[in-house]
Amino acid sequence: MAYTVLDLFAGGGGFSTGFQMARRGDSRFEIIKAVELNEDACNTLRNHLGENKVIEGDLTKKEIKDRIIAECLGVDVIIGGPPCQTYSLAGPARSGKPEMREALRTDPRNTLFRHFFDLVGQIRPRIVVFENVEGIISKQLDTEEELSKKQQIAIEVICDELESLGYSTRIEGDLVKRYQVLNAVNYGVPQQRKRVIIIANNQNQLNPTLDVLNYEIDQTLLQAIGRLPVVLPEISVSRMKSLINLNVITQNLEKSLYAFVGSIKNLKDTYKEQPEVNSDEFNKIIRYFDECLPKLLSKKYKKLIYLEEFLRGYNNLVKKYVERHLAHRQSHISREHNIRDVVMFSMMKPGSSSAQFMNKASLFYDKFLDELYPYDRTKHVDTYVRHSWNKPSNTILSHMEKDGLKFIHPDQPRTFTPYEAALIQSFPPDYVFSGGRNAQYRQIGNAVPPLLARSIGEAILELLENMDR
């Protein structure tokens, strides 16, 4: 039995992918249509769902909305999470349900919410799955009790809207709560990631509570990306002279460069069984360090000019390494980093952050890294985060398209590649994202982790079977 699904605000396809993975006996899902505005994300969807299943366009436009309704009437399930502006739904001037409900219906910043509910009301699916995080919860959660009173009211307003359309949001085993806060790490995803999920049905059934899956081994970064080919970053030199705190590097050039070079050389032992670190291309990089670094450090004058020359030579060798060993994995190539950041990456301990290495009371305090830190400490102290192999990742964010400094690799002096981010999100290894690197990061960071979506889908399959009976 194949139950049909309409995916609204489909993005790069995380929700759809998870629902396609879901199985319960002979029951499964078929994605009828996926609706998305972004061109790169639509190309990703077409690659995985097929050309005829993707509607590219703005669902607030009448012609797009009419097409969705015409092609999806009778669909079993609508899934989606319209972007929400927390400040417009739960702003200081709106303290209770009536005010927030009016904001949901009339505030122009919540247009997508209104059109989401309009489509639900006209298509009349049997089940609606509403997913959100950025618009409903404005901070990372440790427990669902940390939702502020206004945030809880905002969620209740959304449940009220679904109830007004004839959908029950009641959850089995709970007489009060109508939403669930799920952490993806509890469903096989190697990542701490909270999501608010509302399940609603139009047959007045109790909606399923998603049980936490019991894994014998915690999901860790090592399991997710620990055996991938080693990736080396190129180091930008074009605007190096304007780099903030470059003087700290030049005044401590030997310490800085030996930290970076040492981190590369250590990869020979850490990954000694992997062919790429035993290749001619990798060995040439090591020989280059051995031959050219002492010459650089012996210079008494114009050190910055010789540093640029040294880094250009390294970059040329990295290009050859990438061409030989990573050309077939275009999404598993590092972005370019500046020399300051690469030195910081090399010196940071796995599992540490800049908030720790600048804190004199912390075991991770490092005077040199403290001096190197380039950002305003009154606004940002946790800018740099180096991950640990034996723990799940922090929440993968679309912000990775800008710098990725919160996602430093555990033992390679660089940030996560798009391919690593996708695996941490639990996308299948052969899943391909369209667009450039930034477009890929955006799609990956905004996605619902497929393994979390699969667990939701399997609970929905059971609900549909019960409704059929």
HSE-CB at 114 with a 13 A cutoff on CA atoms is 14
pLDDT at 100: 65
Residue 140: its pLDDT value, please?
37
Number of domains in the chain: 2
Q: Could you tell me if residue 458 is inside a domain?
A: yes
The CA-atom distances, in angstroms, between 401 and each of 34, 101, 379, 438, 442 are: 24, 34, 21, 4, 6
Residues 174 and 266 in one domain: no
> Quick one: pLDDT at residue 365?
97
Asked whether 250 and 352 are in contact (CB, 8 A), the reply is no
Q: Which domain holds residue 375?
A: 227-388
298 and 208 in one domain? no
Residue 104's pLDDT is: 65
Residue 434 lies in a domain: no
Residue 101 has a pLDDT of 67
pLDDT at 194: 87
Per the domain annotation, does 118 fall within a domain?
A: yes
Alpha carbon of 74 to those of 6, 121, 201, 253: distances in Å?
Answer: 10, 12, 14, 67
Q: Which residues partner with 8 through β-bridges?
A: 80
Among 42, 72, 84, 159, the active-site one is: 84
Residue 151 confidence (pLDDT) = 59
Phi, psi dihedrals of residue 35, rounded to the nearest 5°: -110, 130
Quote the tokens at residue 338: 């500046």
Active site residue 84: yes
Instruction: Please check whether residue 173 lies inside any domain of the structure.
Output: yes
Residue 142 sits in the same domain as residue 44: yes
Q: Mean pLDDT of residues grouped by 10 in the chain (469 residues)?
A: 96 97 96 97 98 96 97 96 60 61 64 88 97 54 50 78 95 88 92 92 94 65 96 95 95 97 97 96 98 94 93 98 91 97 98 97 97 93 95 92 95 98 97 96 96 96 94
Distance between CA atoms of residues 32 and 315, nearest Å = 47
Does residue 358 sit within a domain?
Answer: yes
**pLDDT, position 87:** 41
- For residue 454, being part of any structural domain is answered with yes
